[in-house]
Chain A
Amino acid sequence: DSGVTQTPKHLITATGQRVTLRCSPRSGDLSVYWYQQSLDQGLQFLIHYYNGEERAKGNILERFSAQQFPDLHSELNLSSLELGDSALYFCASSNPGGIRTDTQYFGPGTRLTVL
């Protein structure tokens, strides 16, 4: 158990809908990262938040957005869903300023299926 939690584990929805994925980082970790794992694209970085502020964006679609709250949990919002958005979405956390600031620990992921 990495200490990172993600909910829900599975999500099935229809095209055009909007969903929210939630992540709680390890205790004390200030950084949260979101990654998408799909069969054709592999593991892709989406976005990084540090202590509530956006630090970096990767291949994140405009239909997707994220935020990190004062209690450090993060949410990834996916809207106008398309079939191609079906994937495993991972959250990871790390502790900049702590020991091994470079190391990211992953949550169990949320499996999103768009029908």
Chain B
Amino acid sequence: AQTVTQSQPEMSVQEAETVTLSCTYDTSESNYYLFWYKQPPSRQMILVIRQEAYKQQNATENRFSVNFQKAAKSFSLKISDSQLGDTAMYFCAFFHQGGSEKLVFGKGMKLTVNP
């Protein structure tokens, strides 16, 4: 069974600074995808970024980028130029294509961006 671990329960950062959220996972599968979802106080689950495991290139979406280390099973999210609207819970998630096709989530990390 796959597991996803987010070891930092909470972090804070100053507006305009850069912050990195860590995530590790465990799997024996080779065909999988990794995601970061954001859950602001509204409780909506919002897709932030997606990484295909077979791609070595790290995904980037505007101010959000990942550092995907497949051998180390590590998938960290970097947020550049942090904004107040980035304050949210962030969840790392694993998806195995061709398996149960469910998302396996980490426990989440609360990020606070301070003015």
Contacts and interface: CB of A to CB of B under 8 A. Distances in A.
Nearest to A94: B101
A108 B101 contact: no
B62 interface: no
Contact of B43 (A45, A101, A104, A108): A108
Given A42-B105, A42-B107, A48 B44 contact: no
A108 B44 contact: yes
Interface of A is mostly: strand
Interface residues of B, number: 21
Interface in A26-60: 31, 33, 35, 42-43, 45, 48, 55-56, 58
Interface string A102-115: 11111011010000
Interface string B28-49: 0000010101000011111100
Interface of B: 33, 35, 37, 42-47, 50, 91, 95, 97, 100-105, 107-108
A88 B43 contact: yes
A45 B102 contact: yes
